Amino acid sequence: MSSKKENALSKVQDLYLMQMALWNFLDDTEKNVEKYQSAQKTLREFKALLKEVDWQYMGGEDVLQSLQWIPNEVHMKLKSAPLRRATVKKAVVQKTAKRRK
């Protein structure tokens, strides 16, 4: 197998592994800051790899289209996460407390 084909297949495999991690995040009901941060990192990597991957190595253009909705779903869950808002408020309070000293 040529290295170009191996590279393309490796990208597809990485994309599928990230997809599973993001699906697990979407299905998880536990609210955990570390999980949200991990999902944000995986989402960035997934979106970048989605632009690079060749749909011909993943089974067709329809498969690519089905993968393209995942970032929107994950982004919506991250955006509506109460932990994210609580973390931001905590950071603001800590910053304000430092200024008072």
Q: How many C-beta neighbours within 10 Å does residue 22 have?
A: 20
Cβ-contact 22, 70 below 8 angstroms: yes
d(CA 8, CA 13): 9
Predicted local confidence at residue 60, as pLDDT: 81
**pLDDT tens, residue order, the chain (101 aa):** 679 899 999 999 999 999 999 999 989 888 788 888 899 999 999 999 999 988 888 888 888 888 889 999 998 888 877 655 555 556 555 666 666 65
Cα-based angle 54, 59, 60 (whole degrees, multiple of 5): 70
